[in-house]
Amino acid sequence: MDTLAGYVATGVVTFVAGWALKTLEPKVKIVWWSAHQFLFQLTNPALALFTHAITVQNVGRKTAEAVEIVHKARPDFFKLQPALDYEEKTTPAGEHVIRVQSLGPKEFFTIEFLSYVSIPELLFIRSETGHALPIQIQPQRIFPYWLRLILNGLIFVGFGFVVYWLIRTGNFVLRGAGVL
């Protein structure tokens, strides 16, 4: 019976270790957001200028290969910032593809668009590992370093206070139940 328990324990530990390694391994995670968009209606000459930007970032811990930004048609003008080496191609269905070879962990780039003929319609953004996730952003005020230190200290003290009282409450409940 002891050998059977040893085999079962070995199997369970192996499964848990394999699952943990698979879960914790570095992965690619591409996210994107639109920082702004604006339409200028010019009267002389009668012209509509549309400008917008898309930022693409790899928030994962593994390098993303073959990042593609696909539009329904080619945008009138676009520029990548920072300047990256990219390829342009058109699919048989007429979609325009901007392909960046790789994007390292925590790296990002912004594509600025200027359109006057047609507004580019974004279809999707993807890498070899899958589609990018759109995220919501909001500009945020950056407080002085000294204030952030004070606030982080208060958060740390508050967390310690909560842990202390959880331990005291657990101790009280266990003593009341006769366990301690």
Distance CA 55, CA 68 (A): 13
CA 62 to chain CA mean position, Å: 12
Burial class (CB in 10 A: 0-12, 13-18, 19+), 166: exposed
pLDDT of residue 93: 92
CA 116 to chain CA mean position, Å: 31
pLDDT of residue 7: 87
1 has a pLDDT exceeding 60: no
pTM score of the predicted model: 0.75
Calculate mean pLDDT across residues 6-17: 89
Round the average pLDDT of the chain to a whole number and report it: 92
CA 14 to chain CA mean position, Å: 31
Calculate mean pLDDT across residues 8-19: 90
CA distances from 44 to 40, 41, 48, 70 (A): 12, 9, 11, 33
Residue type, 112: E
* Domains identified in the chain and CATH numbers: 30-134 (2.60.40.1510)
Residue showing tokens 């009138």:
76
pLDDT of residue 95: 94
Least confident of 4-13, 84-93, 128-137, 149-158: 4-13
67 has a pLDDT exceeding 60: yes
Query: Which residues sit opposite 77 in a β-bridge?
Result: 114
Contacts of 38 (CB under 8 A, 6+ apart): 50, 51, 52
Tally of CA atoms within 13 A in the half-sphere of 49 that contains its CB: 9
Contacts of 101 (CB under 8 A, 6+ apart): 65, 66, 85, 86, 87
